[in-house]
Amino acid sequence: MNNKMEKFGDDFQQKSKYLRNQLPGHRLDWSIKPETYKTYQNAMKTIKLPTPEFDNEIKFWQVLVNRKSTRKFKKDPITLSELSLLLYGMTGLTRVFPQFAFRTIPSAGGLYPIEVYPVINNVKDIEQGIYHYNIPNHSLELLKKGDFRVEVARGCLDQQIAYNSAVNFVWTAMIERSKWKYLQRCYRYIYLDAGHIGQNFYLIAEALGLGACSIGAIYDDELNELLKIDGINETAIYVGVVGKKFQ
């Protein structure tokens, strides 16, 4: 590997800095603002998720202290209600207004560039397959039926946890959704947004008594191919795995 390739991360950090009196002169063109939500009109099936119901007895600070990565899962399935809460906790809508909706996470500029693709392995009453989370309708869009544990595990650097999990959440970035406002600095914000989702994922899993682990070591293009996305305008950046944990 040559020196230029070795320091591409250093170059990105330096080139994406904001410098006083040198901010990019950029006016927002609202006529070309990317869509806030991605939906699949040609999905094989749409499944309405249960309304999230919260257990008021769960103690937040105990959840925060107990949160940890889990790398061993039972073979028992998780429930549809648990899946509903996980998805809602990651990026569900909380307060909806005519032109904007708040979510369970913050996002730079309120642009929310992260999409969620649950690859379902073992959920009660849901067939295995690749799904997309329809955020405004709190529903699942079935994109492809089948068992894709091997493909996802291989895309996660052959990590066994992605094979044994009940669900693998592949988080993707819609680059233009953020770049429309933030230009090249958008990548910093996209990764921060993914981190917000990842932390909520951990906390919801712990609150439900589930095991969870996030994976940043991925073969980007292998997961992009699995999801049939181009890797340029939309690309896989992060994975979360979840399942019943050993007590």
The DSSP annotation for 190-219 comes to HHHHHHHHHHHHHHHHHHTTEEEEEE----
Which pTM value belongs to this model? 0.93
242 has which bridge partners? Answer: 167, 212
pLDDT digits (tens, 9 = 90+) for 96-152: 998 899 999 999 999 999 999 999 999 999 999 999 999 999 999 999 999 999 999
- For the chain, domains (ranges, CATH) are 43-244 (3.40.109.10)
Q: What confidence tens digit (pLDDT) does each residue in 164-208 have?
A: 999 999 999 999 999 999 999 999 999 999 999 999 999 999 999
Residue 159 has pLDDT above 80, yes or no: yes
Confidence of residue 246 (pLDDT cuts 50, 70, 90): confident
CA distance 94 to 98: 13
Of 62-71, 131-140, 174-183, 214-223, give the lowest mean pLDDT range: 62-71
- The DSSP code for 57 is T
More confident residue, 20 or 76: 76
Q: Report the chain's mean pLDDT, rounded to a whole number.
A: 94
Calculate ∠ Cα 63-66-67, nearest 5°.
80
Asked whether the CA dihedral 205, 206, 209, 214 is positive or negative, the reply is positive
In 3D space, the residue among 174, 173, 179 whose CA is nearest the CA of residue 29 turns out to be 179
Q: Side-chain half-sphere of 133: how many Cα atoms within 13 Å?
A: 27
Rounded CA-CA distance 49/191 in Å is: 27
Nearest to residue 211, comparing CAs of 82, 62, 98? 82
Grade residue 8 by pLDDT with cuts at 50, 70 and 90. Answer: confident
